[in-house]
């Protein structure tokens, strides 16, 4: 009796499940299977590891190597990456464009990170902008946005949004009244990101980028509102703001079948409400019981919702 016959027998008798039978029988038949996700993960980790190694080398040996050698090496990596991308890229289009190669996105990401390392080294060595060094972040974000849209790359778009967030926060810190709380910065930044994503979506420029904008905006806004709830004792205005924001995330997530936004709304609202409830509980045992029971309910609810979303998709 062959291995496949044994597998069929075990499947019929219930010794192995259907998914187990499919997976093992595919191996026994030597069927081809996809390692696309694994290779993408390795490439992403490889790029980050390479840049981390470059940064460590520059920091450790820059004096020994000299400015010319360091800047030349970084410039060669940067322009080689950009040359590769521009030479292979499809023409620009407002709609989604397929990558020009398996490693294309990661070479572009490598070039962007190298650009950041080179700018950081220039300011560290020559202090070109001195106290206005945060303008490098603005320059980097502009470059990243341009490359993200030119090459239709969500990796670089995320890098652009995070870099812009850093510049936005540092600029706000120049105003003492506003700098008392980063929550003001977070609310303003989250609102701007959401509006920018919606406007670009409506004019038809890379409409598929909207979700990336909204992921960033939703998390920033909800974190800011949650921090207000935690910090302000018994101020229900902030609680209403958090619940309202969470409700919008849940409703729109259900409407457009985006489960992640439903999770955002439920989790942030639960944490905010729990913080207020635990404040009113006098005993440690009572607080622990509340967390155990309510947390279990929330987790089970998310599991049920996840299965429902999976069935609808």
pLDDT tens per residue across span 26-77: 666 665 555 666 777 888 889 989 999 999 999 999 889 999 999 999 999 9
222 contacts 245 by C-beta, under 8 angstroms: yes
Confidence category of residue 183, pLDDT binned at 50, 70, 90: confident
Q: Delimit the domains of the chain by residue range.
A: 37-179
Q: How far apart are CA 278 and CA 90, in angstroms?
A: 56
Separation between Cα atoms, residue 22 and residue 195, nearest integer Å: 46
Q: Is the pLDDT of residue 150 over 60?
A: yes
Smallest Cα–Cα separation from 231: which of 275, 188, 270? Answer: 275
Closest listed residue to residue 229, CA positions, set 170, 221, 286, 248: 221
The answer to whether 309 and 270 are in contact (CB under 8 A) is no
Cβ contact 262:250 at 8 Å: yes
Report percent pLDDT > 70 for the chain.
Answer: 87
Instruction: Supply the DSSP symbol for 233.
Output: T
H-type alpha helices, 152-283: 154-172, 182-202, 210-231, 236-255, 259-280
DSSP line for 18-39: HHHHHHHHHHHTT-----HHHH
pLDDT band at residue 179 using 50, 70 and 90 as cut-offs: very low
How many whole angstroms separate alpha carbon 115 and alpha carbon 142? Answer: 12
Q: Residue 272's closest CA among 213, 211, 231, 313?
A: 231
* Alpha carbons 306 and 308: distance in angstroms, whole number: 5
Please indicate, yes or no, whether the overall pTM of this predicted structure exceeds 0.75.
Answer: yes
Any idea which of 28-37, 199-208, 267-276, 288-297 has the lowest mean pLDDT? 28-37
Identify the residue whose tokens are 């979303």: 309
């Amino acid at each position: 009796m062959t291995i496949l016959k044994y597998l069929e027998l075990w499947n019929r008798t219930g010794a192995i499940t259907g998914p187990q039978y499919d997976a093992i029988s595919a191996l026994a038949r030597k069927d081809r299977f996809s390692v696309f996700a694994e290779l993408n993960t390795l490439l992403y980790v490889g790029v980050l590891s390479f840049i981390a190694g470059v940064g460590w080398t520059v920091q450790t040996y820059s004096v020994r190597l000299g400015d010319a050698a360091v800047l030349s090496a970084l410039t060669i990596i940067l322009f080689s990456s950009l040359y590769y991308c521009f030479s292979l890229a499809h023409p620009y289009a407002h709609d989604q464009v397929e990558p020009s190669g398996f490693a294309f996105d990661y070479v572009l990401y490598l070039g962007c990170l190298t650009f950041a390392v080179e700018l950081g080294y220039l300011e560290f060595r020559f202090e070109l902008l001195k106290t206005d060094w945060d303008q490098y972040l603005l320059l980097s974000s502009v470059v990243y946005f341009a490359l993200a849209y030119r090459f239709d790359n969500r990796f670089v778009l995320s890098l652009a949004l995070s870099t812009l967030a850093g510049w936005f926060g540092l600029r706000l810190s120049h105003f003492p009244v506003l700098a008392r709380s980063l929550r003001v910065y977070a609310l303003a930044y989250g609102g701007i990101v959401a509006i920018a994503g919606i406007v670009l979506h409506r004019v038809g420029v890379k409409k598929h980028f909207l979700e990336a904008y909204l992921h960033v905006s939703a998390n920033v806004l909800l974190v800011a509102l949650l921090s207000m709830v935690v910090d302000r004792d018994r101020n229900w205005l902030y609680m209403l703001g958090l619940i309202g924001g969470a409700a919008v995330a849940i409703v729109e997530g259900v409407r457009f079948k985006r489960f992640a936004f439903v999770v955002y709304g439920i989790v942030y609202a639960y944490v905010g409400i729990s913080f207020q409830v635990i404040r009113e509980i006098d005993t440690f045992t009572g607080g622990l019981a509340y967390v155990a029971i309510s947390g279990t309910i929330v987790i089970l609810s998310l599991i049920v919702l996840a299965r429902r979303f999976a069935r609808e998709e």
